Structure 1
Amino acid sequence: MGDLMDVAAFADAARAEADAWDRAGRLPGDIVKAMAAGGLLGADLPRDYGGAAASARELGEACARLGGVCSALRGLVTVQGMVASALLRWGTGEQRTAWLPALAAGDRLAGFAATEEGAGSDLGALTTSVRAHGTGYAVTGRKLWVTFGTIADVFLVIGRTEDRTAAGGAGEEGAGEPDGGHGRTAALLVESDRPGVTVEPVGEPFGMRAAGLAHVTFDEVRVPASHLVAPPGFGLSHVAAAAIDHGRHTVAWGCTGLAEACLTYAARHTARRTQGGVRLADHQAVRAVLGRAQVAAAGARQLCGHAADLRDRRSPEALAETVVAKYAAASAAASVSQDTFQLHGSAACGPDSAVGRLFRDARIMQIIEGSREVAEVLIGDLVLRRGGPGTAS
């Protein structure tokens, strides 16, 4: 795999088709192939595994471009990167060799299967069972809202072992028990064509309509021991955490691009739209809306850039600053898209309105990982740890 494609040119070409993808509820196969061929599905993977070795900032800028056009495009990069990053960090050498080049090339499309009926933002409440079976495991449970679950070839499934001494653990002294009092969690790769896997497409979701959202049921699905990623006890605290951190990074940048795109739509619309012979842009109230939107979008971009630079330097503060960036960017996307929607009025309500589509997508971005209060608590913990305001340098 070479360098990344010209993402700006790709995104510009995709803009005219994005509303049709939203109505159809899927991305065309040739678009997925083009993204794979252009290095987007393995953007920050090492070249040894078929990746483009992009920096965190380069990956972020690509997601901003895609997010400003179609959240499903950015979503495909996100979920593929989440699973790949977890395998790169916690997979065995054999797993990395077997799976990462296929993910980077788009030969295998991935889904991250974590959310459940009672385990959304609180993944500690997982009920999916991972049971030792012969020389491997049997997986039983139901996962909700799996991005690109309708076309995924393999799922990274997070579940719970039935006891604290499941085969493959790291011993009795706590080395394999970072999940604490919740018991051991496990992460496994489960192919979508295994007996017992049922994929149920989500019909007409509020947003992210082209992202192939699905509910996936696993009914005593048997997988070999080689599909276990890290020992039991590390599934949530290590494997899932690595995937979620990567997802926050790409979602944050995608939200920044969405906010910036909406601001562009708002500026163009208010500059040419007249009411009573007066341009909307000539009203002070409208200019104030645009000013607030500019500050929100610019602030999100600055925080995303700061977090990306920390990630590229492998700073221990990168994880916390990525949480801050994701929160700010999702908030900016929600507020700017809402203001843009309101400025466009009824014109934003039609099926071919990019403004309406981005407004719906922004709402979904804001509730990823649960309510805003979840992120606020995490950021509050950061403030307490630092003893006051400020960001890591």
Structure 2
Amino acid sequence: MTIESQEHIALRAAVAALGQRHGRGYEREQLWAEAAKLGYLGVNLPEEHGGGGGGMAELSIVLEELGAAGCPLLMMVVSPAICGTVIARFGTQQQKEKWLPGLADGTLTMAFGITEPDAGSNSHRITTTARRDGDGWILTGRKVFISGVDIADATLVVGRTETASSPGAAPALKPCLFIVPRDAEGFQRSQIDMELQAQEKQFELVLDDVRLPADALVGDEDAGLLQLFAGLNPERIMTAAFAIGMGRYALTRAIDYAKTRQVWREPIGAHQAIAHPLAQAHIELELARLMMQKAAALYDAGDDIGAGEAANMAKYAAGEACVKAVDQSVHTLGGNGLTREYGLASLITAARVARIAPVSREMILNYVSHQSLGLPKSY
């Protein structure tokens, strides 16, 4: 018995076949183009704008299965999931017509800029500000650890608008989202030297009085955190999918090895010291997937509050399960687990991403202790 619909089962099988054709040595551009052509990149976007009319449930299946085949597309977390969702929900008709068809068919890509050097996980401390300039805006600030800016046509930047609450009062800062084209004057990027091996690079951004037209603002200037978290919940769901896929890939390699590696009379997988930790890793990945499916279902049903709790829990569970699965898989292979031939060693670093990004496990525990359990804050 499965909790997935026949459509979801078919989608999972089709994407798995695509991932197997490309495999661990995939070329990102080729896989991106083929996934787009098959309708997988925009499966969550509205049909009237070229998408598949689905939601996070379908998009998370795509990313998970590609990850399980060893060829995850990290920009799926950002471009269709965060940026596409925010524009579909809150963008103007003109913004939807300009961006959504391209995001759906892969011809346009959008990055997402929220993290700042001094703000960390505290979105209330964002210092990138937008001030009105005639009919437009001037954006000033810095961002860090922004994925794929070099390949993105634009970046959806989280800034704060200066709004005076009353005459003579100090301006209040409200979070807002702005579409910043890659070639905008004053929009500078520098690549961060990462030890993490990934197709998508990380960048620090400097916005030096970047002038934007009025229609660069996405949604309502006064909506604040509502629009921001409309993008962050999908980000957490998709990060969970990314982690589950990675964990499944590592576990599959370890299981295949444990079935065939023979030192004594039986393959090493016959020994409980090898078999039981792999079984535990499998169980924890399956449990994480269940929470991810719950989060996606709640989000797609329009329950943003319920989805917020579930998405954070899913991201936490998937990150922990992924790290454990990768670690146990490397351990199962012994020295071979550190060779390029088996492709597991690089995952030791990559698996940690699911624990620390886009929000750390500790901040998720803070969220659950405060929001779910009602415990007081220490900050």
Which category describes the TM-score, using the shorter chain as reference length? 0.7 to 0.9
After superposition, the C-alpha distances for 1:306-328 in whole angstroms (9 at most, x for unaligned) are 22333343345223212211111
Q: Aligned pair in 2 of structure 1 residues 313, 185: CA closer, same or farther (>3 Å)? A: closer
Q: Give the secondary structure class of the aligned counterpart of 1:354.
A: coil
After superposition, residues 154-303 of structure 1 pair within 5 angstroms as: 154-161=154-161, 163-165=162-164, 183-207=173-197, 209-235=198-224, 237-275=225-263, 279-303=267-291
Q: Give the secondary structure class of the aligned counterpart of 2:212.
A: strand
After superposition, the C-alpha distances for 1:39-87 in whole angstroms (9 at most, x for unaligned) are 23322111101101124322222121012234641x1211112101011
After superposition, the C-alpha distances for 1:142-197 in whole angstroms (9 at most, x for unaligned) are 21111111211100011123x323xxxxx869xxxxxxx97222211000011112
Distance 1:190 1:63 in 2: 26
Paired residue type of 1:336: A
Determine the structure 2 residue equivalent to 1:45: 45
8 Å Cα contact 1:40/1:77 also seen in 2:
no
Paired residue type of 2:182: S
Deviation at 1:278, TM superposition (A): 5.3
Q: 2:296 aligns with which of 308, 311, 314?
A: 308
8 Å Cα contact 1:67/1:257 also seen in 2:
yes
Determine the structure 2 residue equivalent to 1:54: 54
8 Å Cα contact 1:111/1:152 also seen in 2:
yes
Q: Give the secondary structure class of the aligned counterpart of 1:31.
A: helix
Query: Which structure 2 segments of 5+ residues have no match?
Result: 1-9
Distance 2:227 2:323 in 1: 30
Query: Which structure 1 segments of 5+ residues have no match?
Result: 22-26, 166-170, 174-180, 387-393
Q: Give the secondary structure class of the aligned counterpart of 1:42.
A: coil
Distance 1:137 1:284 in 2: 63
Distance 1:197 1:380 in 2: 39
Paired residue type of 2:177: A
Q: Give the secondary structure class of the aligned counterpart of 2:344.
A: helix
Paired residue type of 1:200: S
After superposition, the C-alpha distances for 1:206-264 in whole angstroms (9 at most, x for unaligned) are 25x112322222211111011111233435x0232111111111111222222222221
Name the TM-score, length of structure 2 as normaliser.
Answer: 0.87
8 Å Cα contact 2:258/2:268 also seen in 1:
yes
Distance 1:309 1:229 in 2: 25
Structure 2 residue 362 is matched with structure 1 residue 381: no
Q: Give the secondary structure class of the aligned counterpart of 1:214.
A: strand
Paired residue type of 2:120: G
After superposition, residues 34-183 of structure 1 pair within 5 angstroms as: 34-70=34-70, 72-73=72-73, 75-80=74-79, 81-161=81-161, 163-165=162-164, 183=173
Distance 2:331 2:222 in 1: 48
> How many pairs are equivalent?
360
Paired residue type of 1:326: K
Determine the structure 1 residue equivalent to 2:328: 339
Q: Give the secondary structure class of the aligned counterpart of 2:41.
A: helix
Paired residue type of 1:15: G
Distance 1:46 1:97 in 2: 11
8 Å Cα contact 2:175/2:228 also seen in 1:
no
Distance 1:352 1:139 in 2: 47
Percent identity over paired residues: 27
Deviation at 1:88, TM superposition (A): 1.3
